[in-house]
Amino acid sequence: MAKKPKTPWPTKLAMEQVYEKKLWGGNQTDFYSGEGSHHPEIVNPYIDAVTAFLTSFKNKLTVCDLGCGDFNVGNQLVTHTKKYVAVDIVPSLIARNNETFKAENLEFQCLDIAVANLPTGDCAILRQVLQHLSNTEIQSIVNKLAAYKYVILTEHTPQDNFIPNKDIISGQGNRLKVQSGVNILASPFKFKVKEETQLSAVVLDDGKGVIVTTLYKIF
């Protein structure tokens, strides 16, 4: 008797639905990872800051983009790296990215980063990824980040003081709905880093919080 296929993880189903139903916007014919990946006031400061970091090295880094989305942002960083491995959980999105973006040092992989072994590299990028995940999944990912020398983490949080890491169900939303945001240095994650540097911060209009990008040096 043939084995039944394994049921996909709920997070995978949720992310597939985001793109199928255009829950983050976009037109009806392509994938769209939301304003955080397309609005110039959000994207440009990020690209400038990360490019400055990547180009500060004499020898280019191997970068692992963990949650690459529609690759509108990552595509602008590839040229500054030795190798760029772009990962996402949605198979159809990775298939589209493979067809759309071409470079000798670029590789796409379809992985659930909370479950799978992560690609090896010097620097991991997680741009507005953890904010959509449950604490259990975040903990699983954080446990693996110690393998990278650098981690560049972008999170959308309330602008004022907040209690970090309130748990949510993984999906299209984030912790703003419970007046919280992800801080991997705080409980329950307590990620250990050697250095912490803020690369950029974009305050959104109408009290919609702030998008902060932080560089962590792990060892």
Bridge-based pairing of strands 62-66 and 123-127 is parallel
What is the per-residue DSSP string for 123-176? EEEEES-GGGS-HHHHHHHHHHHTTSSEEEEEEEE-SS---TT----SSS--GG
What predicted TM-score, i.e. pTM, was given to this entire model? 0.92
From the list 155, 106, 156, 145, the residue with the least C-alpha distance to 123 is: 145
**Half-sphere CA count of 112, side-chain side, radius 13 A:** 15
Tens-digit pLDDT profile for residues 52-66: 999 999 999 999 999
Domains of the chain: 10-217 (3.40.50.150)
Alpha-carbon 107 to chain mean position: 16
Tokens at residue 115, please?
Answer: 């479950």
Tens-digit pLDDT profile for residues 208-219: 899 999 999 999
Tens-digit pLDDT profile for residues 123-178: 999 999 999 999 999 999 999 999 999 999 999 999 999 999 999 999 888 999 99
DSSP letter (8 states) at residue 205: G
C-beta separation of 62 from 85 below 8 A:
yes
Does pLDDT of 198 surpass 80? yes
Bridge-based pairing of strands 106-110 and 123-127 is unpaired
